[in-house]
């Protein structure tokens, strides 16, 4: 195991992903972690991440300096390197100017982290401060034009420092440098595979749950489906899943999901149709946050009523992923302000006194997909684009009515069909339609029309934290627009959303 200390860099999750891509398990911990906890975790190496602070700021994040006495290899990246330099008696100078962007790295010796890398290679810099004087026992291993001490090592102690970011794609040999650290320096092995993860997770669930019962809210998304499969493999029929159809799913989604879930997951699933309840509660509501709160509350009521029928349930399972955990624990840099309240399907009904199990809580989304594959889950479920808990309600701007819901469902179905046909479905993080609350004038068959406007949204993203609008071919956009205007009654104009996140968000509400 490799331990990453989170000093608040926006790239922290990326470091963890790179390490895991090398099939080495790693976890991210906040800097205030107790040194005894680090000792008991017994990491093979520690990575000190970058961060937005300056080491001399009063409240800059610090980890217990006793980590340098553990005899464990340490790699400091950017702020992490500066922390190490300062802690071990060197000095860091405050610079007036930030260095940001590409730089050419000149490597002195092709050994250690630089084994197998050309003497000149590109690296990505993003720092204000830099190292002025190295602590005793350290030497310079690489420089750039602006940064003399761009990389350093204390060979005896196996302490490494990189002023640049090896984890980002803009440092083309960064992955190799991390591999050198993991395998050559720390002696890690390629043991973290989804097969081994599944085996351990199943054993752990068995051990925790024993002969008790587990309830799981199934949404049809990859996270809850993989959670279900994993728990089912561990405890079989003692798992009951509840699927609440809120009527806000995409066209035919409820029926299709029911079919695939039943067909491929031989699991106890209770399907609850509750469209009426949701639409009633949403009537005359147009405020996005109110909509989300109402949907969350109705979901809870329906879910809880059903869950209560399951006697002797002791556990509630959730498909929580690692980024949620990191964001809620991060001492520096997160958690970000609530921009939209998210309702994760299957939240904990407080008065039910159920214990939580979250078997995916150390995985990233792409790992969950790999795990799904290792468990034999249908491709169709594995590769579903994410779909928000509040469903189409947050894609109908303004009031959600049955009529508007059906306009959006029809249009959205065309978007999905064409996107799938074009081969773009898997390349996009999400692609969908949004119904706007304004009308525009059009002309159809010599007649003036005054109808709804529909927006298309398609984005690429790795983790939904940031996203770019997809540069879809004009032909494809044209085809979707034509089909919607011709086939969906009530729409006479289609527009394409060309905003990225930030500053926009993926969903419109
Ligand atoms: P935004 O709109 O915040 O969305 O850029 C980021 C990602 O989160 C999804 N999303 C939700 N998922 N419950 C969910 O389970 C929610 O309330 C919710 N709101 C947004 C959104 O589809 C995108 O993938």
Determine the pLDDT at residue 340: 44
* Active site (annotated) includes residue 241: no
Structure tokens belonging to residue 385: 């684009």
Q: How far apart are CA 150 and CA 161, in angstroms?
A: 8
Identify the three-state secondary structure at position 249.
coil
Determine the pLDDT at residue 203: 96
Between the CA of 248 and the centroid of ligand 1 the distance, in Å, is 15
Between the CA of 394 and the centroid of ligand 1 the distance, in Å, is 10
Determine the pLDDT at residue 497: 98
pLDDT tens sequence across 55-68 = 988 889 999 999 99
Q: How do beta strands 139-143 and 120-127 pair?
A: unpaired
Please state the atom number of ligand 1 nearest to the C-alpha of residue 507. Answer: 2
Query: pLDDT class for 362, splitting at 50, 70, 90?
Result: confident
pLDDT tens sequence across 442-454 = 998 889 999 999 9
Query: pLDDT class for 22, splitting at 50, 70, 90?
Result: very high
Calculate the CA dihedral of residues 463, 467, 473, 475 and round it to 10 degrees.
100
Determine the pLDDT at residue 114: 98
Answer whether 361's CB lies under 8 Å from 226's CB.
no
Identify the three-state secondary structure at position 268.
strand
Atom 17 in ligand 1: which residue has the minimum CA distance? 342
- pLDDT above 70 as % of the chain: 94
Residue in 99, 123, 127, 165 annotated catalytic: 165
40/127: higher pLDDT:
40
The predicted model gives 263-279 an average pLDDT of 91
Between the CA of 507 and the centroid of ligand 1 the distance, in Å, is 7
Atom 18 in ligand 1: which residue has the minimum CA distance? 388
Q: How far apart are CA 73 and CA 48, in angstroms?
A: 11
Please state the atom number of ligand 1 nearest to the C-alpha of residue 292. Answer: 17
Residue in 22, 26, 78, 123 annotated catalytic: 78
Structure tokens belonging to residue 324: 């949620």
Residue 165, pLDDT > 80, answer yes
From the list 211, 217, 225, the residue with the least C-alpha distance to 305 is 217
Residue owning tokens 């990453």:
4
Residue 153, pLDDT > 70, answer yes
Q: How do beta strands 45-48 and 313-317 pair?
A: unpaired
From the list 425, 507, 505, 424, the residue with the least C-alpha distance to 466 is 505
* Active site (annotated) includes residue 139: no
Between the CA of 299 and the centroid of ligand 1 the distance, in Å, is 16
Pocket test for ligand 1, best of 290, 343, 464 (most atoms within 8 A of CB): 464
Domains present along the chain, CATH in parentheses = 2-185 (3.40.50.880), 194-382 (3.40.50.620), 402-496 (3.30.300.10)
Question: Who lines ligand 1 at CB under 6 A?
Answer: 292, 340, 342-344, 386, 388-390, 430, 464, 501, 505-507
The predicted model gives 291-295 an average pLDDT of 95
Atom 6 in ligand 1: which residue has the minimum CA distance? 464
Identify the three-state secondary structure at position 26.
strand
Answer whether 354's CB lies under 8 Å from 240's CB.
no
The predicted model gives 99-118 an average pLDDT of 94
Burial 365-376 (b: 16+ CB within 10 A, else e): bebbbbbbebbe
- 394 exposure class (CB count in 10 Å sphere: 0-12, 13-18, 19+): buried
The predicted model gives 104-127 an average pLDDT of 95
Pocket test for ligand 1, best of 292, 318, 340 (most atoms within 8 A of CB): 340
Answer whether 163's CB lies under 8 Å from 147's CB.
yes
Identify the three-state secondary structure at position 9.
coil
From the list 359, 355, 427, 437, the residue with the least C-alpha distance to 396 is 437
Determine the pLDDT at residue 339: 43
Query: pLDDT class for 265, splitting at 50, 70, 90?
Result: confident
Which has the minimum average pLDDT: 133-137, 174-178, 333-337, 383-387? 333-337
Determine the pLDDT at residue 326: 67
Q: First and final CA of the chain: distance in angstroms? A: 40
Query: pLDDT class for 365, splitting at 50, 70, 90?
Result: confident
Q: Model's pTM, two decimal places?
A: 0.79
Determine the pLDDT at residue 2: 97
The predicted model gives 196-212 an average pLDDT of 95
Atom 4 in ligand 1: which residue has the minimum CA distance? 506
Determine the pLDDT at residue 123: 96
Atom 22 in ligand 1: which residue has the minimum CA distance? 388
Pocket test for ligand 1, best of 222, 388, 430 (most atoms within 8 A of CB): 388
Between the CA of 78 and the centroid of ligand 1 the distance, in Å, is 32
Answer whether 119's CB lies under 8 Å from 142's CB.
no
Residue 349, pLDDT > 80, answer no
Residue 140, pLDDT > 50, answer yes
Tell me the backbone φ, ψ of residue 407, rounded to 5 degrees.
Answer: -60, -45
The mean of the pLDDT values for the chain is 91
Residue 337, pLDDT > 80, answer no
Calculate the CA dihedral of residues 329, 344, 300, 351 and round it to 10 degrees.
-20
The predicted model gives 159-188 an average pLDDT of 96
* Active site (annotated) includes residue 451: no
Residue 344, pLDDT > 80, answer no
Residue 293, pLDDT > 80, answer yes
Ramachandran category for residue 259: left, alpha or beta (phi over 0 → left; psi -120 to 50 → alpha): alpha
Neighbours of 82 (CB within 10 A): 31
Determine the pLDDT at residue 328: 61
Residue in 99, 123, 167, 509 annotated catalytic: 167
Kindly report the three-state secondary structure assignment for every residue of 279-346: HHHHCCCCCHHHHHHHHHHHHHHHHHHHHHCCCCEEEEECCCCHHHHHHHHCCCCCCCCCCCCCCCCC
Instruction: Considering only the C-alpha atoms of the chain, give the largest distance between any 2 of them, rounded to a whole number of Å.
Output: 84
Kindly report the three-state secondary structure assignment for every residue of 156-194: CCCEEEECCCCCCCCCCCHHHHHHHHHHHHCCCCCCCCH
Residue 311, pLDDT > 90, answer no
Atom 11 in ligand 1: which residue has the minimum CA distance? 388
Between the CA of 90 and the centroid of ligand 1 the distance, in Å, is 45
Please state the atom number of ligand 1 nearest to the C-alpha of residue 342. Answer: 17
Atom 16 in ligand 1: which residue has the minimum CA distance? 342
233/338: higher pLDDT:
233
The predicted model gives 412-438 an average pLDDT of 97
Between the CA of 342 and the centroid of ligand 1 the distance, in Å, is 7
Determine the pLDDT at residue 100: 86
Atom 12 in ligand 1: which residue has the minimum CA distance? 388
Q: How do beta strands 268-273 and 213-217 pair?
A: unpaired
Please, how many CA atoms are within 13 Å of residue 92, restricted to the half-sphere of its CB? 24
Query: pLDDT class for 346, splitting at 50, 70, 90?
Result: very low
Which has the minimum average pLDDT: 218-222, 395-399, 485-489? 218-222
Between the CA of 503 and the centroid of ligand 1 the distance, in Å, is 15
Determine the pLDDT at residue 251: 94
Determine the pLDDT at residue 333: 36
């Amino acid at each position: 195991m490799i331990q990453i200390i989170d000093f608040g860099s926006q790239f922290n999750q990326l470091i963890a992903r790179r390490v895991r891509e090398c099939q080495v398990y790693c976890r991210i911990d906040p800097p205030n972690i107790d040194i005894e906890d680090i000792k008991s975790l017994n990491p093979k190496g520690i990575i000190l991440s970058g961060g937005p602070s300056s080491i001399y700021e009063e409240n800059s994040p610090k980890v217990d300096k006793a980590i340098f006495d553990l005899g464990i290899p340490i790699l400091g990246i950017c702020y992490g390197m500066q922390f190490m330099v300062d802690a071990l008696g060197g000095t860091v100078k405050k610079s007036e100017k930030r260095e940001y962007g590409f730089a050419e790295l000149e490597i002195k010796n092709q050994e250690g982290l630089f084994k197998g890398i050309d003497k000149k290679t590109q690296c990505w810099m993003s720092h204000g401060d830099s190292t002025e004087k190295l602590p005793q026992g350290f030497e310079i291993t690489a420089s750039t034009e602006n940064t003399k001490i761009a990389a350093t090592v204390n060979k005896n102690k196996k302490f490494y420092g990189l002023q640049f970011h090896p984890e980002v794609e803009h440092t083309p040999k960064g992955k190799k440098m991390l591999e050198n650290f993991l395998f050559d320096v720390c002696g890690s092995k390629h043991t973290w595979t989804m097969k081994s993860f599944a085996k351990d997770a199943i054993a752990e669930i068995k051990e925790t749950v024993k002969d008790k019962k587990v309830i799981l809210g199934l949404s049809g998304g990859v996270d809850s489906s993989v959670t279900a499969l994993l728990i089912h493999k561990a405890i079989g029929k003692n798992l009951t899943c509840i699927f609440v159809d809120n009527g806000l799913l995409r066209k035919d989604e409820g029926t299709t999901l029911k079919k695939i879930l039943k067909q491929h997951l031989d699991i106890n699933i209770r399907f609850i149709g509750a469209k009426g309840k949701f639409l009633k509660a949403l009537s005359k509501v147009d405020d996005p946050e109110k909509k989300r709160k109402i949907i969350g509350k109705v979901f809870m009521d329906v879910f809880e009523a059903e869950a209560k029928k399951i006697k002797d349930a002791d556990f509630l399972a959730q498909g929580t992923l690692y980024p949620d955990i990191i964001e809620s624990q991060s001492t520096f840099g997160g958690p970000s302000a609530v921009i939209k309240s998210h309702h994760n399907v299957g939240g904990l009904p407080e008065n039910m006194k159920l214990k939580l199990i979250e078997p995916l809580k150390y995985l990233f989304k792409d790992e969950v997909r790999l795990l799904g594959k290792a468990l034999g889950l249908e491709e169709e479920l594995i590769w579903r684009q994410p779909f928000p808990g509040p469903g189409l309600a947050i894609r109908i701007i303004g009031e959600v009515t049955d009529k508007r819901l059906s306009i959006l469902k029809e249009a959205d179905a065309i978007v999905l069909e064409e996107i799938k046909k074009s081969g773009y479905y898997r390349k996009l993080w999400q692609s969908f339609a949004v119904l706007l609350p304004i009308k525009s004038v059009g002309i159809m068959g010599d007649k003036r029309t005054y109808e709804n406007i529909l927006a298309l949204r398609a984005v690429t993203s790795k983790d939904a934290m940031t996203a770019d609008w997809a540069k879809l071919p004009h032909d494809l956009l044209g085809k979707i627009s034509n089909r919607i205007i011709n086939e969906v009654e009530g729409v006479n104009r289609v527009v394409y959303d060309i905003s990225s996140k930030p500053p926009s968000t993926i969903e419109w509400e």
